[in-house]
């Protein structure tokens, strides 16, 4: 698939591709070789049209009455989502959430690797969390360069969010995933994704109340 086109894939399609891939890997592990759009839709709890539309956007075509070749689709999604070389990630703030995330991601995806953790608490410095070494935050610029880290996950207390964001931007990081409730802004060449758990929970509570 053409690189120029990929840039223009809708954000929501990118998200779904990530999910399709994991679903397809599961199907493949169960010995399936082909799959219909409506089967993917059922797994993901979305509509078959949406699945076909996403597949159209990435330029793949299935075979009529046989569906999509699972192996081919996995490989194509990989070509779209994955970088050729490993993308290294830093996680900043090894508290409850930071440790949980590190454990969750470490050694899972081959093309994404948590390469370093950072904290200020002396108890944590030098320790390894699921194989990831924790460094003092004042080492971060050096380590990011050394380990060619391009993505940062922020899990520090929200009072520290801006400081950490600034350090990350300064050290040339190109993507930030901010899990603190303090919104940040970044230069145009840095991609930012924020998730606020309190917001999600309050949203659920609102719609429950409204019933």
Partner DNA sequence: AATTTATTGTTAATTAATTAACAGCAAAAG
Partner DNA sequence: CTTTTGCTGTTAATTAATTAACAATAAATT
> In degrees rounded to 5, what are phi and psi of residue 90?
-115, 145
How far apart (Å, rounded) are the C-alpha atoms in residues 119 and 122? 8
**Residues written for the chain:** 211
Judged by beta carbon distances under 5 to 8 A according to partner kind, the member of a copy of itself, DNA, ligand NAD, none in contact with residue 64 is DNA
Judged by beta carbon distances under 5 to 8 A according to partner kind, the member of DNA, a copy of itself, ligand NAD, none in contact with residue 22 is a copy of itself
Q: What minimum distance in Å lies between the beta carbon of 63 and a copy of itself?
A: 26
**Helices and strands counted in the chain (H then E):** 9, 9
37-to-28, 29, 33, 76, 131 alpha-carbon distances in Å:
15, 18, 14, 16, 39
Judged by beta carbon distances under 5 to 8 A according to partner kind, the member of DNA, ligand NAD, a copy of itself, none in contact with residue 209 is a copy of itself
Give 170's contacts (C-beta < 8 A, 6+ positions apart).
141
184 is a site residue for ligand NAD (CB under 6 A) = no
How far apart (Å, rounded) are the C-alpha atoms in residues 58 and 68? 13
Residues making contact with DNA (CB under 7 A): 10-13, 36-38, 46-50, 52-53, 55-56, 60-68
Judged by beta carbon distances under 5 to 8 A according to partner kind, the member of a copy of itself, ligand NAD, DNA, none in contact with residue 47 is DNA
Q: What minimum distance in Å lies between the beta carbon of 183 and DNA?
A: 13
Residues binding ligand NAD (CB under 6 A): 92-98, 100-101, 103-104, 118-121, 137, 155-158, 160, 163-164, 179-181, 197
């Amino acid at each position: 698939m053409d690189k120029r086109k990929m840039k223009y894939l809708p954000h929501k399609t990118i998200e779904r591709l990530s999910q399709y891939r994991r679903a397809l890997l599961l199907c493949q592990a169960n010995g399936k070789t082909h799959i219909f759009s409506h089967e993917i839709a059922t797994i993901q709890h979305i509509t078959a049209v949406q699945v076909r539309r996403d597949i159209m956007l990435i330029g793949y075509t299935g075979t009529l009455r046989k569906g999509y070749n699972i192996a081919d689709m996995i490989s194509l999604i990989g070509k779209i989502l994955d970088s050729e070389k490993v993308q290294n990630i830093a996680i900043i703030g090894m508290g409850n959430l930071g440790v949980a995330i590190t454990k969750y991601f470490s050694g899972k995806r081959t093309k994404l690797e948590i390469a370093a953790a950072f904290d200020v608490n002396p108890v944590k410095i030098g320790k390894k969390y699921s194989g990831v070494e924790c460094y003092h935050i004042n080492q971060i610029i050096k380590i990011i360069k050394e380990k060619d880290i391009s993505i940062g996950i922020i899990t520090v207390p929200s009072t520290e969010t801006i400081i950490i964001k600034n350090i990350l931007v300064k050290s040339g990081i190109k993507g930030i995933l901010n899990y603190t409730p303090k919104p940040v802004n970044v230069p145009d060449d840095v991609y930012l994704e924020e998730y606020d758990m309190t917001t999600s929970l309050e949203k659920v509570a609102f719609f429950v109340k409204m019933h």
